[in-house]
Structure 1
Amino acid sequence: MPSLRIACFHLNQLGDLVFSLPALLALGRGFPKAQIISVARPPHRELLLLSGLVHNVVERPRGQLISKLKMVSALRSMKLDLAVLFSTSLGTAILAWMAHPREKAGFGKRGLAYRAEKIGPPSVANNLRLVEALGCRVEKRDYVGLVKLDESVRCRVRDLLMHAGIGESTPYAVISPAASGRRAIKEWTSEGFAAVAERLADDLDLVPVLVGTEADEVVAGLSEKIVDLRGKTSIIELAALLEGAHVFVGIDSGVMHLAAAVGTPVAALFGPTDPAITGPMGEGHKIVQSDVPCLACMKTSCREPLCMQRITPDAVIESVAMCVSEEKNV
């Protein structure tokens, strides 16, 4: 009898992908003879395959209709038994329907053989609720340790750091200021991050390493002490860079969750989002928040996000120092 073929349709953002890893683990244990296929964006392919949680990755292209039809054709040829939809988007639902699986599981209300209630934003808890609806037993409820790295990835990152003037024994901190384009409300000030970078170097003897996109150019230009590695790593190389860092400093973002997943202490700046729902998982992390009544409002836009604006560099550095001190004492 052929094994089950299960396709998992992931959300597009990095953090949401990390949120799905415990569910993939439970799915594999619940269906040990199944072939699990991830449908995900191309940059996430290597992370998923190295995790050992999936057998194959079908890349989900952006935009072009012809590319999407080719993807659907590839999925149809696999004769899927089950499609698991971590995404609630209409586009994902249409693609899953076109792939012709025997059954579908998701958070919707129609056309699903198995369904779960989605509570709040995408989260590990929501994804685990979905695989539990499939009858899977959940033994691990966090993503820590589920991002796997091999020595070739670590070697590439060591070479990158060497070319940037950071030797193997040089301690560094990774700074990630930006969120996805739709969630700019979560961002702190460029001046604040630049001030933190200066103090990482002067007070804590940590080289500040900046990661992110071109949108973070302002931060890079405000401090001469920043080593700018924006756009110079793949997702899996970014994971290796984070693994080697003494601490991560940044906002609620996919990069923050990736840092926590590889076991790096996180000093995370939170304002409109709730760390009880989307905070970093694992031990040794510190949450930095201001004292405003509208904290954790969960809004996606705000004319004057005081919750982030009132966070001070002093508060951030204090949390970073605590992370580093606790790491040394472990």
Structure 2
Amino acid sequence: MLGPSLRALRNRFPDARITLLASPAGARAAPLLACIDDVITHRATWQDASGALPLDPTREIGLVETLRGGAFDAAFIFTSFSQSPWPPAFACYLAGIPRRVGQARDFGGSLLTVRATPPPDCTHQVDRNLHLLQAIGVAVGDRDLAVAPPAEAEASADRALRRLGIAPGEPFVLVAPGASCTARRYSPSRFAQAITRLGRAVRMPIVLTGSPREATLVETIRVRARSACVRSLGGDSSVVELAAIVARARLLVGNNSGPMHLADACRCPMVILYSGTDLEEQWQPRRAPATLLRRPTPCEPCYRFECPYHMECLDIPASEVADACLDMLERTAHRARVPARIGAASSAPGS
């Protein structure tokens, strides 16, 4: 979601050294963004939604010292609609960074040297990030997500697929059943049923993938899916390898999670089980052909990590998921998909 803003910053300041301050998960995705020179990895208390991060003031003091050592000229603080810029702004203030740019409706004193008024909450996150730059006069070019997997990730993706018996250029369906919280995960049993139905109708491998912590989930679905065409990458793929695998897929099936954004960046057609945790307008794919499946509920958007109402927003029959996949495969059968790389042309959704 930050890629277009980083490209805009690079275009405005071509000789600048751009350092990304990111969570461990964000840092693992940083190699996909060609505009970054360095990464500072930090588990920030202001991003600890679960409250599980142990009390350790030295951790934040260490961040301030790291930032001070970087002798940065400016800090651009990008936040979602629900995040506050003030904690990271305070760290940057203590580090002596002279120019601190963020967007907030509430007043936070002089912690920000430039405080932009944020756009409406329903604004797409890509546009929200770019809004911050526009507020200080940075010209905005394209708004498309794009990734640039390193050569070693491309080679690793080919090796991983080859181990599953999938030759270079051979079409396959990629299924990513995981998500960062249970409120965004479609039922594993229904995933298995949908895969079973899809496997009876298509003549291509169906590949399951997930993060290391999702390996058990992936294996559970593989065992339950009664189809000889199902293969599994387990939880062995890194984010950068996954991006390269998504770029090779004929179709992605998953939840509203990271692989969905990778598919949008790679222009990979997708069918997404989009839970009611968020507004579609905030995070939905905008460039790749996409079908979003969700049942309307009075509690959406809930912004919860766990659902107390039996996941009614994802009460979608497996047959409907399989039919949506077949429809997307048919609609995009003759579509020449151009891999989205920095500077590459992109196709309009559904074209």
Identify the residue that residue 135 of structure 1 maps to in structure 2. Answer: 137
**Greater CA deviation, 62-71 or 122-131?**
62-71
1:28 equivalent to 2:10? Answer yes
Q: Report the Cα distance in structure 1 between the residues aligned to 2:60 and 2:167, rounded to whole angstroms.
A: 44
Residue 50 of structure 1 and its aligned partner are, at CA, apart by 4.5
Alignment partner of 1:308 out of 311, 314, 324? 314
Alignment partner of 1:267 out of 271, 279, 295? 271
Please tell me whether the aligned partners of residues 261 and 281 of structure 1 are also in contact (alpha carbons under 8 angstroms).
no
Please tell me whether the aligned partners of residues 49 and 57 of structure 1 are also in contact (alpha carbons under 8 angstroms).
no
SS at match of 2:254: strand
Alignment partner of 1:243 out of 237, 242, 247? 247
Residue 70 of structure 1 and its aligned partner are, at CA, apart by 4.5
Residue 102 of structure 1 and its aligned partner are, at CA, apart by 0.4
1:83 equivalent to 2:78? Answer no
Residue 192 of structure 1 and its aligned partner are, at CA, apart by 1.1
Residue 113 of structure 1 and its aligned partner are, at CA, apart by 1.6
Identify the residue that residue 187 of structure 1 maps to in structure 2. Answer: 185
Instruction: Using structure 2 for the length normalisation, give the TM-score.
Output: 0.78
SS at match of 2:154: helix
Q: Report the Cα distance in structure 2 between the residues aligned to 1:295 and 1:269, rounded to whole angstroms.
A: 17
Please tell me whether the aligned partners of residues 86 and 127 of structure 1 are also in contact (alpha carbons under 8 angstroms).
yes
| Paired AA for residue 258 in structure 2 | G
Q: Report the Cα distance in structure 2 between the residues aligned to 1:326 and 1:242, rounded to whole angstroms.
A: 19
Alignment of 1:1-330 (within 5 A): 19-42=1-24, 44-45=26-27, 47-61=29-43, 69-87=61-79, 88-89=83-84, 91-108=87-104, 109-110=107-108, 111-116=111-116, 117=118, 119-120=120-121, 123-143=125-145, 146-181=146-181, 184-212=182-210, 213-214=214-215, 216-217=217-218, 218-223=220-225, 225=227, 226-272=230-276, 273-290=278-295, 292-294=296-298, 296-300=300-304, 301-304=306-309, 305-309=311-315, 311-330=316-335
Give the structure with the larger helix fraction: 1
Q: Report the Cα distance in structure 2 between the residues aligned to 1:196 and 1:159, rounded to whole angstroms.
A: 27
Structure 2, gaps ≥5 residues long: 45-52, 336-351
SS at match of 1:29: helix
| Paired AA for residue 241 in structure 1 | I
Q: 1:279 to 1:317 in 2, by over 3 A?
A: same
Instruction: Using structure 1 for the length normalisation, give the TM-score.
Output: 0.83
Identify the residue that residue 6 of structure 1 maps to in structure 2. Answer: none
Q: 1:134 to 1:295 in 2, by over 3 A?
A: same
Structure 1, gaps ≥5 residues long: 1-18
Residue 326 of structure 1 and its aligned partner are, at CA, apart by 2.8
Aligned residues: percent identity? 24
Give the CA RMSD over aligned residues.
2.5
Q: Report the Cα distance in structure 2 between the residues aligned to 1:100 and 1:230, rounded to whole angstroms.
A: 45
